[in-house]
């Protein structure tokens, strides 16, 4: 009995003596991840963090300059957390970085991270790879409204302007069409 009592004390003493060692914050991919039997296991989180795997699925990010507003992501989303409104561009608005022609503005491109289930389907369907998952996972908010991320690059005034431009262009086109129709009838 004395032996078991002493071996118990020896065990706690050994842990106490090893308290100057710390577990290194190595990622799970590392070979040493499961081979650190000694030292304190606590990770002082805000000051240090275990790196996340490269294929980890965390917060979404949309690079709006590369977005062609095709709406595929919003359609495949199983929880409907992506809201997109589109406005046709009246003039040439350039290309994405992979050479696809952009034809639409996005006055609204919202992702509700509180609804997001982090499945990653939207990133796989994205034709221009502008919608990606970043390694950021610590983005809690006090107000749930702040969980809705707005990715549009247009201010509301600019969006209104684009809408008016489009309406004007459509009006002109309709007028031109009507004029052409009237001209044909007169012949």
Partner 1 sequence: MLAFLLTLMLLLGIVIVLAYAERKVAAFMQDRMGPTEAGPYGSLQSVLDVLKLLQKEDIVPAAADKKLFKLAPILIFAAVFAGFAVIPFTPDLIPAGIGIGVFYLLAIISLDVVGLLMAGWGSNNKYAMLGAMRSVAQIVSYEIPAGLAILSVVMICQSLDFQEISYQQGVLLNRFPGLEFETNWLFGIEALGINTTNIGGITTWNIFRAPLLLVAFVIYFIASLAESNRAPFDIPEAESELVAGFHVEYSGFRFAILFLAEYSMMVLVSLVAVILFLGSWNTPLPNLTTLKFANWTTGTIGELSGILWGSFWLLSKTFVLLFLQLQIRWTYPRLRVDQLMHLCWKVLTPVALGLVLLAGIWRLLMV
Contact residues: partner 1, CB under 8 A? 5, 8-9, 11-13, 15-16, 18-19, 39-42, 44
Tell me the C-alpha distance between 182 and 177, whole Å: 9
Phi, psi torsion values for 99, nearest 5 degrees: 90, 10
Pairing state between β 104-112 and 148-150: antiparallel
CB-nearer residue toward partner 1: 1 or 142: 1
* The two structure tokens encoding residue 80: 């409907």
CB-nearer residue toward partner 1: 23 or 61: 23
CB-nearer residue toward partner 1: 24 or 179: 24
CB of 63 to partner 1, least distance (A): 38
Beta pairing partners, 169: none
CB of 33 to partner 1, least distance (A): 16
Tell me the C-alpha distance between 125 and 121, whole Å: 6
CB-nearer residue toward partner 1: 20 or 143: 20
CB of 161 to partner 1, least distance (A): 52
Q: Convert 3-33 to b/e letters by CB count within 10 Å (16 or more is b).
A: eeeeeeeeeeeeeeeeeeebbeeeeeeeeee
CB of 26 to partner 1, least distance (A): 17
CB-nearer residue toward partner 1: 33 or 118: 33
CB of 7 to partner 1, least distance (A): 10
Do the beta carbons of residue 95 and residue 128 sit within 8 Å? Answer: no
Tell me the C-alpha distance between 76 and 9, whole Å: 59
């Amino acid at each position: 009995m004395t032996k078991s009592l002493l071996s118990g004390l020896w065990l706690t003493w050994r842990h106490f003596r090893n308290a100057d060692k710390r577990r290194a914050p190595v990622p799970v991919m590392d070979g040493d991840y499961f081979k650190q039997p000694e030292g304190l296991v606590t990770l002082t989180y805000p000051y240090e963090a275990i790196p996340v795997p490269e294929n980890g699925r965390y917060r979404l990010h949309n690079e709006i300059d590369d977005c062609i507003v095709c709406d595929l992501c919003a359609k495949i989303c199983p929880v409907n957390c992506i809201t997109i409104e589109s406005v046709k561009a009246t003039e040439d608005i350039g290309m994405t970085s992979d050479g696809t022609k952009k034809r639409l503005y996005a006055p609204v491109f919202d992702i509700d991270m509180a609804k997001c289930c982090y499945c990653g389907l939207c990133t796989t369907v994205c034709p221009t790879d502008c919608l990606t998952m970043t390694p950021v996972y610590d983005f809690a908010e006090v107000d749930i409204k702040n969980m809705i991320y707005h990715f549009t690059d247009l201010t509301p005034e600019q969006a209104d302007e684009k809408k008016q431009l489009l309406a004007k262009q459509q009006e002109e086109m309709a007028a031109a069409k009507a004029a052409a129709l009237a001209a044909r009838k007169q012949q």
